[in-house]
Amino acid sequence: MSNEMKWAKNVRKVTPYVPGEQPKQTNIIKLNTNENPYPPSPKVFDEHGKVNVSGFSLYPDPSASVLVEALAKYHGIGANQVFTGVGSDDVLALAFLTFFNSDTPILFPDITYSFYPVWAEVYRIPYECPPLQEDFTINVNDYKKKNGGVVITNPNAPTSIALGTSQVEEIIAANPEVVVIIDEAYVDFGGESVLPLIDKYDNLLVVRTYSKSRSMAGMRIGYAMGNKRLIQAMTDVKESINSYTMTRESIVLGAASLADEEYFQEKKQMVVATRERTKEELRRRGFEVLDSSANFLFAKPNSVDAGWLFEELKKEKIFVRHFNGERIKDYLRISIGTDQQMDCLLQAIDRIMA
């Protein structure tokens, strides 16, 4: 080891999460990170035009109260039941740090959002991953043993499968001594939310994002809802790290998005309709496609290798996602774009597989 590297032994060893590619080229079809193909609501554009840039010289409101109160009103809960962060990744990471301080392993499925093991490693939280069943569904009984906390993505990613409310409730009810995080990043596209249960269970934290159904991945807004004591605990940890997480822009633009329910519903329906049509088209081409409750499809191209098809699509400037995990390497995760983008995908598949 050279002299300059004497500090290396004290470096925290991490294997970072690998996000989907954000290619620099512009003329591509990007179906690899589950973004929304439609722009944010016109109300967000209007509000953006009114942003007071001179105000950037001052720090934002550390409690982001304009956004927190708008979210509380939108969801019909108290402002003290809402916590906001820089995307749901920030909210989830902080929830791991706040709630998972036990020597007993936390539990999340073997196939789920691949950031969970990364946060567990970086914070040195022990974890176990009960395998999903053969059909990629969750067996709720796997979450009834002693544990240090539970994290469930519902609908799950990358499988797109939703777990029913009664089954999620079974998991929450079986774990009163630990916090159960339900990551509802994709719930607006067809899942059932357990938000109505936050007053019944003081161990339930529901996490949401603006990055998918609200078309605002670039603004980085996520939030959590739960019992006010859970929210206070997260706020205390956040304020021990960084007081000002939400920018002046994210606070006002996040609130503006909530003021346009009609646009939100319309665009969500469009994504769902395109998803169903694409699912049928892929099935007609011999793909095995799981029934999706999210804004993406998990599809197995039976006649060719998924990794090969991923590369061939890339040559056609169509980016989808391929995971190398043992149980899922035969599948592609395809985000739902516009009808036109999905037609391009289907035509490219026909050309490639001809």
The contact set with ligand PMP (CB under 6 A) reads 87-89, 113, 153, 157, 183, 185, 209, 211, 217, 222
Which of residues 267 and 348 has its CB atom nearest to ligand PMP in the complex? 267
Of the pair 35, 142, the CB lying nearest ligand PMP is at 35
User: Which sign, positive or negative, has the C-alpha torsion 149, 153, 158, 162?
Assistant: positive
Whether 180 contacts 152, CB under 8 Å: yes
Give the per-residue SS3 of 241-275. Answer: CCCCCCCHHHHHHHHHHHCCHHHHHHHHHHHHHHH
Least CB distance from residue 11 to ligand PMP, whole Å?
25
- CB-based contacts of 311, cutoff 8 Å, min separation 6: none
Shortest Å, Cβ 183 to ligand PMP: 5
**Between 111 and 178, CB nearer to ligand PMP:** 111
Q: Which is nearer to ligand PMP, 70 or 207 (CB)?
A: 207
183 or 260, CB closer to ligand PMP? 183
Least Cβ distance, residue 113 to ligand PMP (angstroms) = 4
Task: Tell me how far, at minimum, the Cβ of 97 lies from ligand PMP, in Å.
Answer: 16
Beta-carbon contacts of 83 under 8 Å, excluding residues fewer than 6 positions away, are 68, 91, 223, 224, 225, 231, 234, 235, 238
Nearest to 223 by CA among 258, 192, 190, 191: 258
118 vs 231, beta carbon nearer ligand PMP: 118
Taking the complex as a whole, the smallest distance from the CB of residue 1 to ligand PMP amounts, in Å, to: 37
Mutual orientation of helices 248-258 and 42-49 as an angle, nearest 10°?
140
Cβ of residue 89: shortest distance to ligand PMP, in angstroms?
3
Q: Cis before residue 117, ω within 30 degrees of 0?
A: no
332-335: strand order across its sheet: 287-289, 296-301, 332-335
Q: Which is nearer to ligand PMP, 183 or 188 (CB)?
A: 183
What are the start-end ranges of the E strands in the chain? 29-30, 82-85, 106-107, 127-128, 150-153, 180-183, 204-209, 222-226, 287-289, 296-301, 318-319, 332-335
> Which is nearer to ligand PMP, 249 or 281 (by Cβ)?
249
Residue 84 DSSP SS3: strand
Look up residue 173 and give its two tokens.
């009810």
Give the residue at shortest CB distance from ligand PMP.
87
